[in-house]
Structure formats: structure tokens, C-alpha cells
């Protein structure tokens, strides 16, 4: 079960449509990822360090701190769990730093599949996710397509109609260049016959910058997670045209807007799964010990509170199944990036 040279999953962890879209059905199943009776090791034997390769307050930072809280407050572990940040280049700066922890099961890093795969490709990063040890996919985060409150666009249909006629007139903003938000904008355009390289996109470092560009009129439409946008949505400074998805088909508390699936655009929806990796060089027993610890955390009331607080859906995909998911998404991500003109 070592690293990401994995066996085929018993159930498909990702669905990649013929059009090369990126979606996922990574949810908890009876297949819990255990390797069926190998050696066991004591874990943890010291504090756990969780790296968030993004800025404080962003989505990765929120997940890392949620993990730290759940591990300690619900007494999943008896040791400390600390969080550090190393932002930049779609997570690849932090991941490059993480490589030095080879063989140390007490070092973990949070990431999102589509965002990190995009960051690696766009930044020509030497980081190879296959060299790291998959621990688990944990969450999927619904994103919102939003416009300022005074926008002339009352629904996504009208915005996409103008995008089709005058692609450059619609100024999109969201997260990193080549990340999940950028790919989402490209696929929405592509669904209406607009070539991805015609999308006018301004990347930012996260939800705060995205909101600023929308509110000062520098952007027409933005994409970011509901967690990062909720404050401005509830203050009615931004209005939601659509959600990329709704957790388990449920309404998102306090916000009335359709999902892309409800608008007939399910094939254009991007679902990046947020998860956890460990360094390379772990034994099968060490990997299993980390997976088991994160599994206990995922079952705790503290983690369930974290999911609820952040509008996250559970996307439990343990061990090698998470490695398989990452590999399945890599090709479609790179295809869209080629169409955007960001990679050759």
C-alpha cells in the first residue's frame, strides 16, 4: 500500500467523462482502504505537524486547523497537532518544502486534487504527487459562481449567453492560475462553445482577493468556495448565480441558488477533493497507522462540526483509493490546461 503505485480501486473513485471533465464520486463506502492484516506500529509517538501550502485563512489553512482541532479536542491523539503555512504557486512551494520529510509519518500536508495538479503543471514544478504517500480524501467543497449585487446578470444563463457572444467582455476571477476555479470557468465557457483560451481570467491568492476584485468592479464574475464567500453573500454584497455542487443533493444553508446539475451543466462541474498526504518513504504499516488515525478523526464529533461549519461534504477516500483518484484526475486536468494555453 506504499505511496501512489496503487492497485485498481474496487469502486471507481473518480468519474471522468468523455469530454474530459473533472468530477468525482469519492464518498465513504464499505471499502475502508485497509490492507487486511499487515504489521501494526505505534502512532503517533510524538506531535503531528500539518502543513497548509496556502495562506492563513484560506481553504487549505481552514482544513489543516480543523484537523488539528479534531485530533486534539476529541482526543483522537494524545499528542499535539500543529499547523504551519507555506503559500505560493498553487501549493507547489509548500509541497516542495514537504519533500524533505521523507520517512517521517508525523508530517502531513493538506491539498486539493485539481488545484495541486494544476499548480504542478502550470508552474512546471518538480514535485511528483506519485512520490508521496496517500492518506485520505476528506472533503469536497461546493464553490459558488457569484457576481456583485448590482450586476446586470440575474442568473447564470444570461451571463453565459453574453460570454458566448463576447468572451473577453466577461472578466472572471478566482483562485490560482490553472487551479480549480480557473478550470471551472473554462469548462463553463466550453459548455457554450467558447474556447478555453478565450476566457478572460484574473487569478488571486484566495477568496479575500476574489471578493475585493468583484466589489471594486475589476471583475464581472467570481468563483470561490462557499466558505470563503459566505460572509459577503449573507451581507448581500454578492449574489450567487449557481453552486458547482450541493452536498449529497441538499440545499446549502441560507443560500437559495441552483447547482450546475440542476441547470443541466453537470458535465461542466469541477469537483476537487480535499485530502491529506504523508511523505514518501513510509512502510505499509506506517501508512496504515496514519490512515487509521485520520479515519478515527473523521468519525469524531469534532470533525463533523468542522464539516458543518465550513459547508463541506464528506468525501472519505482512504489510502490507495485516494492515490488512484489523484491519478485519474491528472489527465483531464492537463487536457484543460492545454486548451487554456497554460501547458504544452
Long-range contacts of 26-32 (CB under 8 A, 24+ apart): 26/137, 26/140, 26/273, 26/315, 26/316, 26/317, 26/321, 26/322, 26/325, 27/314, 27/315, 27/316, 27/317, 28/314, 28/316, 31/321, 32/295, 32/318
Ramachandran region of residue 248, left (φ > 0), alpha (ψ -120 to 50) or beta?
left
Rounded (5°) CA angle 283-300-248: 100
**How does pLDDT run along the chain (344 residues), one tens digit per residue?**
555 544 333 333 333 333 344 665 444 443 454 444 467 899 999 999 999 999 888 889 999 999 999 999 999 999 999 999 999 888 999 999 999 999 999 999 999 999 999 999 999 999 999 999 999 999 998 899 999 999 999 999 999 999 999 999 999 999 989 999 999 999 999 999 999 999 999 998 778 899 999 999 999 999 999 988 999 999 999 999 999 998 765 678 889 999 999 999 999 999 999 999 999 999 999 999 999 999 999 999 999 999 999 889 999 999 999 999 999 999 999 999 999 999 98
Q: What angle do CA 223, 225, 228 make, to 5 degrees?
A: 105
pLDDT of residue 39: 78
Please give the pLDDT value at position 71.
Answer: 98
Helices 301-309 and 284-299, packing angle to 10 deg: 70
Tell me if 42 sits within 8 A of 78, measured CB to CB. no
Report if pTM > 0.95.
no
| Contact between residue 288 and residue 40 where contact means Cβ atoms under 8 Å apart | yes
What is the per-residue pLDDT for 159? 98
Radius of gyration, alpha carbons of the chain: 19
Q: How many CB atoms lie within 10 A of CB 334?
A: 18
DSSP for 232-277 reads: HHHTTSEEEEEES--GGGPPPTT----BTTTTT-GGG---PEEEEE
Amino acid 38: pLDDT = 61
What local confidence, expressed as pLDDT, does residue 311 receive?
A: 87
Amino acid at each position: 500500500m506504499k505511496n501512489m503505485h496503487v492497485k485498481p480501486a474496487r469502486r471507481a473513485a473518480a468519474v471522468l467523462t468523455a469530454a474530459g471533465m473533472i468530477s468525482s464520486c469519492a464518498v465513504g463506502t464499505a471499502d475502508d482502504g485497509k490492507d487486511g492484516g499487515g504489521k501494526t506500529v505505534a502512532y503517533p509517538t510524538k506531535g503531528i505537524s500539518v502543513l497548509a501550502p496556502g495562506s492563513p485563512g484560506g481553504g487549505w489553512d481552514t482544513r489543516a486547523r480543523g484537523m488539528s482541532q479534531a485530533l486534539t479536542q476529541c482526543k483522537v491523539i494524545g499528542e499535539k497537532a500543529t499547523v504551519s503555512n507555506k503559500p505560493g504557486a498553487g501549493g507547489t512551494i509548500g509541497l516542495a518544502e514537504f519533500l524533505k520529510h521523507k520517512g517521517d509519518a508525523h508530517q502531513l500536508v493538506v491539498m486539493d486534487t485539481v488545484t495541486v495538479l494544476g499548480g504542478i503543471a502550470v508552474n512546471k514544478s518538480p514535485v511528483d504527487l506519485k512520490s508521496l504517500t496517500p492518506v485520505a480524501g476528506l472533503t469536497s467543497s461546493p464553490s459558488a459562481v457569484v457576481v456583485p449585487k448590482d450586476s446586470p446578470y440575474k442568473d447564470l444563463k444570461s451571463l453565459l449567453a453574453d460570454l458566448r457572444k463576447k468572451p473577453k467582455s466577461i472578466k472572471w476571477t478566482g483562485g490560482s492560475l490553472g487551479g480549480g476555479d480557473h478550470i471551472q470557468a473554462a469548462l463553463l465557457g466550453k459548455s457554450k462553445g467558447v474556447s478555453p483560451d478565450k476566457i478572460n481570467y484574473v487569478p488571486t491568492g484566495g477568496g479575500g482577493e476574489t471578493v475585493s476584485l468583484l466589489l471594486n468592479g475589476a471583475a464581472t464574475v467570481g468563483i470561490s468556495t462557499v466558505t470563503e464567500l459566505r460572509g459577503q453573500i449573507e451581507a448581500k454584497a454578492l449574489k450567487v448565480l449557481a453552486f458547482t455542487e450541493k452536498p449529497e443533493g441538499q440545499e446549502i444553508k441560507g443560500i437559495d441558488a441552483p447547482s450546475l446539475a440542476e441547470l443541466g451543466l453537470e458535465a461542466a462541474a469541477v469537483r476537487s477533493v480535499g485530502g491529506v498526504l504523508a511523505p514518501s518513504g513510509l512502510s505499509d504499516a506506517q501508512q496504515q497507522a496514519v490512515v487509521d488515525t485520520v479515519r478515527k478523526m473523521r468519525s469524531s464529533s469534532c470533525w463533523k462540526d468542522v464539516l458543518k461549519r465550513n459547508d463541506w461534504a464528506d468525501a472519505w477516500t482512504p489510502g490507495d483509493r485516494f492515490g488512484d483518484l489523484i491519478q485519474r484526475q491528472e489527465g483531464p486536468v492537463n487536457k484543460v490546461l492545454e486548451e487554456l494555453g497554460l501547458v504544452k
